[in-house]
Amino acid sequence: MTGFGGARSTDVPLDDDVPGDPLRAAVAVMDRLRSPGGCPWDAEQTHASLAPYSIEEAHEVAEAAENGDREHLLEELGDLLLQVLFHARIAAEGSLGEPFTMDDVARGLVAKLTSRHPHVFGTGAGSASGQGESSAVTASDVNERWEQLKAAEKQRTSLLDGIPTSMPALARTQKVVRRAQRAQVPLPEPGEDLAGRLDAVVRDAVAAGVDAEALLRKRLRVLEDVVRQAERPGVPSAETRAP
């Protein structure tokens, strides 16, 4: 893997004072782990075998962020970065056909961010001067433009294109409802059965502008705290409490 230069980890002096140098070293470490003489477990992994770990690490990042835990977030972002480095290293071996490297991943990200933020980077003369096409935009305007540019870039023909089927049902429902409402697609009434009531709750979350998954996770933490409190020494369990 060429990564940020292709050197092995033992050849990369780490200078924390040089922006980007620790990231270059991380790419080289991943290269060493995956190369002959590296780690046998790492060498056996595939994109598919890593997928569950990638999902788990993303959830742990979300938990640390929602808890406002700096140290935990710092650690979990590193674990999530490992997944990106790992997948890019495997792809560099041609696992999916034409190889690509971590440099290609970063290059694609830079292109995407600049093209989807014309209000910052602008086009033509505005881009050359470093001035955006317009500073009179709101966060809502930016989000709307992002979705429009995203749909155009990916040549999507359906509102549902790009919504992963592997998403948790609650989050996926919210994404479908939000896109349908934005496009003014009429949706059927939720209904009175349990599934319908869940649908109605998600629509309420969309109307309120809140993340249903995050809201439920917050509520779940309250329930978990109650359970942990009940499990503390000296607190009678449900089985031993008097009726």
* 46: CATH: 1.10.287.1080
Q: Does residue 173 belong to any structural domain of this protein?
A: yes
Lowest-confidence pick of 2-6, 34-38, 40-44, 116-120:
2-6
51 near 28, Cβ under 8 Å? no
70-90 pLDDT, tens digit per residue, is: 999 999 999 999 999 999 999
Tokens read off for 226: 């109650």
Entry pTM: 0.70
Tokens read off for 190: 């939720």
Q: Does residue 240 belong to any structural domain of this protein?
A: no
Domain endpoint, select from 135, 155, 175: 155
Least Cα distance to 42 among 75, 7, 9, 11 occurs for 9
- State the pLDDT confidence band at 158, using cuts at 50, 70 and 90: confident
- State the pLDDT confidence band at 130, using cuts at 50, 70 and 90: very low
Within this chain, do residues 21 and 86 fall inside the same structural domain, yes or no? yes
Q: Does residue 76 belong to any structural domain of this protein?
A: yes
Within this chain, do residues 183 and 108 fall inside the same structural domain, yes or no? no
pLDDT, position 139:
80
Within this chain, do residues 94 and 17 fall inside the same structural domain, yes or no? yes
Pick the more confident residue, 237 or 165: 165
Other residues' Cβ atoms within 10 Å of the Cβ of residue 191:
12
Q: How far apart are CA 209 and CA 91, in angstroms?
A: 38
Within this chain, do residues 177 and 143 fall inside the same structural domain, yes or no? no
Q: Please check the confidence at residue 126 and state whether its pLDDT lies above 70.
A: no
Within this chain, do residues 29 and 107 fall inside the same structural domain, yes or no? yes
For a pLDDT cut of 70, what percent of the chain falls above it? 82
Q: Does residue 23 belong to any structural domain of this protein?
A: yes
Within this chain, do residues 76 and 94 fall inside the same structural domain, yes or no? yes
pLDDT, position 20:
84
pLDDT, position 88:
97
Within this chain, do residues 77 and 104 fall inside the same structural domain, yes or no? yes
Other residues' Cβ atoms within 10 Å of the Cβ of residue 228:
10
Within this chain, do residues 134 and 82 fall inside the same structural domain, yes or no? no
Q: Please check the confidence at residue 140 and state whether its pLDDT lies above 80.
A: no
Within this chain, do residues 136 and 188 fall inside the same structural domain, yes or no? no
Q: How far apart are CA 174 and CA 216, in angstroms?
A: 13
Q: Please state the domain count of the chain.
A: 3
Within this chain, do residues 177 and 223 fall inside the same structural domain, yes or no? yes
Please give the residue range of the domain that contains residue 100. Answer: 9-115
Within this chain, do residues 95 and 181 fall inside the same structural domain, yes or no? no
